[in-house]
Structure 1
Amino acid sequence: MTFSISARCAATGRFGIAVSSSSPAVAARCAHARAGIGVVSTQNITDPTLGPKGLDLLASGLSPDEVLARFAQEAPFFDYRQVVVLGRQGPAAGHSGAKTLGTHAIAHGRDVAAAGNLLASTDVPAAMVAAFEALPEADLGDRLVAAMQAGVAAGGEAGPVHSAGLLIVDTVAWPVADLRIDWSEGDVMAELAALWALWKPQMDAYVTRALDPTTAPSYGVPGDR
Structure 2
Amino acid sequence: MKYIIPFLIVISFNSFSQNKPSDPLAHTYSIVARDAETGEMAVAVQSHWFSVGTAVSWGEAGVGVVATQSFTNKSFGPRGLAMMKSGLSPQQAMDSLINNDEGEAFRQVAILNSEGQVASHTGAKCIDEAGHINGDNFSVQANMMLNKSVVPAMENAWKSNKDLRLAERMVEVLKAAQAEGGDIRGKQSAALLIVKGEASEEPWNDKVLDLRVDDHENPISELDRLVKVFRAYEHMNQGDLYVEKGAMQEAMNEYNAAMEMFPRNLEMQYWTAITLANDGKMDRAVKMLQKIYQEDANWRELTKRLPKVGLLEVEEKDLIRLTH
Same fold (TM over 0.5): yes
Q: Choose from 154, 159, 175 the match for 2:207.
A: 175
Aligned partners of 2:144 and 2:184 also within 8 Å: yes
The answer to whether 1:187 aligns with 2:218 is yes
Q: Choose from 112, 123, 138 the match for 1:97.
A: 123
Match of 1:154 in 2: 180
Q: Choose from 5, 12, 32 the match for 2:38.
A: 12
- 1:192–1:57: structure 2 CA closer, same or farther, 3 Å change rule? same
How far 1:74 sits from its partner (Å)?
2.3
Identity of aligned residues (%): 30
The one-letter code sitting in structure 1 at the alignment partner of 2:157 is A
How far 1:82 sits from its partner (Å)?
0.4
The one-letter code sitting in structure 1 at the alignment partner of 2:214 is D
Aligned partners of 1:109 and 1:129 also within 8 Å: no
Q: Distance in 2 between matches of 1:205 and 1:5?
A: 29
The answer to whether 1:196 aligns with 2:227 is yes
CA RMSD across the alignment: 2.6
- Higher RCO structure, 1 or 2 (CA under 8 Å, sep 6+): 1
Aligned partners of 1:107 and 1:129 also within 8 Å: yes
Aligned partners of 1:177 and 1:203 also within 8 Å: no
Q: Distance in 2 between matches of 1:94 and 1:202?
A: 35
The one-letter code sitting in structure 1 at the alignment partner of 2:73 is D
The one-letter code sitting in structure 2 at the alignment partner of 1:80 is F
- 1:201–1:97: structure 2 CA closer, same or farther, 3 Å change rule? same
Could you say what secondary structure the match of 1:16 adopts? strand
The answer to whether 1:69 aligns with 2:101 is no
Q: Distance in 2 between matches of 1:179 and 1:205?
A: 18
Aligned residues: 222
- 1:140–1:91: structure 2 CA closer, same or farther, 3 Å change rule? same
Could you say what secondary structure the match of 1:176 adopts? strand
Could you say what secondary structure the match of 2:207 adopts? coil
How far 1:73 sits from its partner (Å)?
2.5
Match of 1:3 in 2: 29
Aligned partners of 2:43 and 2:57 also within 8 Å: yes
| 1:6-155 equivalences in 2 (<5 Å) | 6-89=32-115, 91-155=117-181
- Structure with more of its chain in strand, by fraction: 1
How far 1:90 sits from its partner (Å)?
5.1
- 1:38–1:208: structure 2 CA closer, same or farther, 3 Å change rule? farther
Unmatched segments (≥5 aa) in structure 1:
none
The one-letter code sitting in structure 1 at the alignment partner of 2:209 is A
Highest CA radius of gyration, 1 or 2?
2
What do the CA deviations read for 1:25-53 (whole angstroms, capped 9, x no partner)? Answer: 00010000111111100000101111011
